[in-house]
């Protein structure tokens, strides 16, 4: 005698569907990368690798070499990125150059890198971290006067004609698609992020456009109230240099306070 299958009640059908969904959800959780603070595990904070310094708009490196020497005096090896052309081209092309440089350092045995992105170099660094796998290679990232929300100076340059605002300049206009994409993506997990900026900045305007969600925020004047530092002197300012050295130390980074001003000025 052949038994005919009994029809399931609607309640039984929903119960089976619910069990299947639960099984799939468990499977998804099992294969998902381990998370910490809403993202992938941080890069190892042990012995630090080399520090890569990324120039700003125009590619000038003189100030970054001053900062590099300060880091070397603190026992760190450094590499200053040399941008292609006049340093005003597509920021994504510059990010690819950073990716290539870091790839060579990792292949050479570096456990990770620390990156200092100055001015537009901070946006280059964020593109590398968000779009080119850099977040899995950087231990710490320090941004110096980076126009994370764009800068009104770029918008002014564009208003006066294309010759005054090259490709990278246009990418730094507030509301630009590139910046909006980075904002929507958020700060990629992995490295520890620090944003150092000055309230006296006349290039990245308004100055607090350097703020970045997910980063330790350090306006210079919140540490040393009377410190005089404009945008161009960020890489060479002694207090800023001391902040960068501290942010990239091998030990866990603790955000400084105004009580640290004297020690930072003493180097």
> Diameter of the chain by CA atoms?
96
At 199-222, the pLDDT tens digits run 999 999 999 999 999 999 999 999
| Residue 42 confidence (pLDDT) | 62
For residue 17, CA distances in Å to 13, 55, 137 come to 6, 56, 42
Tokens of 239: 């207090």
pLDDT of residue 8: 40
**Does the domain at residues 47-265 carry the CATH identifier 3.30.1440.10?**
no
pTM of the model: 0.83
Half-sphere exposure of 103 (CA within 13 A, CB side): 9
Task: Please report the pLDDT score of residue 2 as a whole number.
Answer: 39
Q: How far apart are CA 135 and CA 187, in angstroms?
A: 9
Q: What pLDDT score was predicted for residue 211?
A: 96
Q: According to the model, what pLDDT value does residue 146 have? A: 98
Q: What is the DSSP string of 4-53?
A: PPPPPPHHHHHHHHHHHHHHHHHHHHHHSPPEETTEEPPPP-SS--PEEE
Domain ranges of the chain: 47-265
Query: Peptide bond before 206: cis, by omega within 30 degrees of 0?
Result: yes
- Residue 63 has a pLDDT of 97
Task: Give the model's pLDDT for residue 139.
Answer: 96
Which parts of the chain have pLDDT scores under 50? 1-41
Give yes or no for a contact between 175 and 151, defined as CB atoms under 8 angstroms apart: no
Query: What pLDDT was estimated at residue 43?
Result: 72
What pLDDT digit, counting tens, does each position of 97-147 carry? 999 999 999 999 999 999 999 999 999 999 999 999 999 999 999 999 999
């Amino acid at each position: 005698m052949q038994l005919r299958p009994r029809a399931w009640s609607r309640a039984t059908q929903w119960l089976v569907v619910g069990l299947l969904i639960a099984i799939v959800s468990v499977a998804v959780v099992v294969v998902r990368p381990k998370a910490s603070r809403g993202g992938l595990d941080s890069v190892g904070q042990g012995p630090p690798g080399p520090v890569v310094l990324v120039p700003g708009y125009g590619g000038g490196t003189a100030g970054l070499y001053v900062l590099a020497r300060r880091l070397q005096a603190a026992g760190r090896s450094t590499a200053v990125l040399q941008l292609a052309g006049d340093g005003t081209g597509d920021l994504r092309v510059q990010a690819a150059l950073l990716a290539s440089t870091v790839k060579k350092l990792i292949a050479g045995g570096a456990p990770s890198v620390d990156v200092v992105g100055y001015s537009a170099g901070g946006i280059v660094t964020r593109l590398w971290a968000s779009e080119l796998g850099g977040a899995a290679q950087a231990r710490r990232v320090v941004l110096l006067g980076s126009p994370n929300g764009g800068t009104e100076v770029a918008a002014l340059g564009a208003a006066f004609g294309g010759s005054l605002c090259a490709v990278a300049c246009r990418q730094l206009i507030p509301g630009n698609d590139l910046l909006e994409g980075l904002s929507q993506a958020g700060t990629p997990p992995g490295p520890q992020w620090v944003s150092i900026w000055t309230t006296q900045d006349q290039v990245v305007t308004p100055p607090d456009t350097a703020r970045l969600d997910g980063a330790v925020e350090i306006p210079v004047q919140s540490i040393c109230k009377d410190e005089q530092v404009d945008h161009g002197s960020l890489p060479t300012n002694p207090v800023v240099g001391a902040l960068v050295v501290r942010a990239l130390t091998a030990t866990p980074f603790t955000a400084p306070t105004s009580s640290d001003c004297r020690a930072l000025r003493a180097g």
